[in-house]
Amino acid sequence: MPYAFHERIFRTLCLFQAIVAFPTILFLGTWVWEEIMEYGYTGIYNFIKHLALSFFAAGILFIIIVQRYNPFTPLITLRFEIAKSTLAGATWLWLLLDSIFGKAPPYYYFNRRANIVKCAISVLVLIFVFFPTLVYGYLLKNHGDKVRNFGRTEENDVTSSERDPLLGSSV
């Protein structure tokens, strides 16, 4: 069964969410492994930060995989979208606050202001990738029939045979 246009957009945005979450899991998981195996003690905060943020990204990816292969009711879809948006927003907020108020190690040679600007700009990912699916879940739950039938008319539902002319002329 072919998907409606809004369902294809939703699935495409979920694919972009997975594209954002998967490398995040890999990078942060690598940093967690490095913190475990490192001989010099750099503090427990970096380990906890990288571990928690990689779990947030793994939660997003898990929800995407579950949503991809199982049809759900609009209420469950909305709950999943709330969970994904909350995890993505918490990740962004943690990194932003860590960039602003976090204690930089003495060997840290990057500009703190540049990190704050990068985190502030990364809110665009939240706005354009994660929050539209949340709005879609809300609209699907509260206005389900209108969303499912958006753009359809009775003329579109009428099927004609393959032998009929495309433009309706009988010449």
Domain residue ranges in the chain: 5-151
Q: CA separation (Å) from 150 to 15, 75, 131, 158?
A: 23, 19, 20, 16
What DSSP line would sit under 88-149, residue for residue? HHHHHHHHHHHHHHSPPPTT--S-HHHHHHHHHHTHHHIIIIIHHHHHHHHHHHHSHHHHHT
Q: Walk along the chain (171 residues) and give the pLDDT tens digit of each residue.
A: 566 777 888 889 999 999 999 999 999 999 888 888 876 666 788 888 889 999 999 999 999 999 988 888 889 989 999 999 999 999 999 988 888 887 766 666 667 777 788 888 888 888 998 999 999 889 888 887 666 666 555 555 556 566 666 666 555
Q: Give the pTM.
A: 0.77
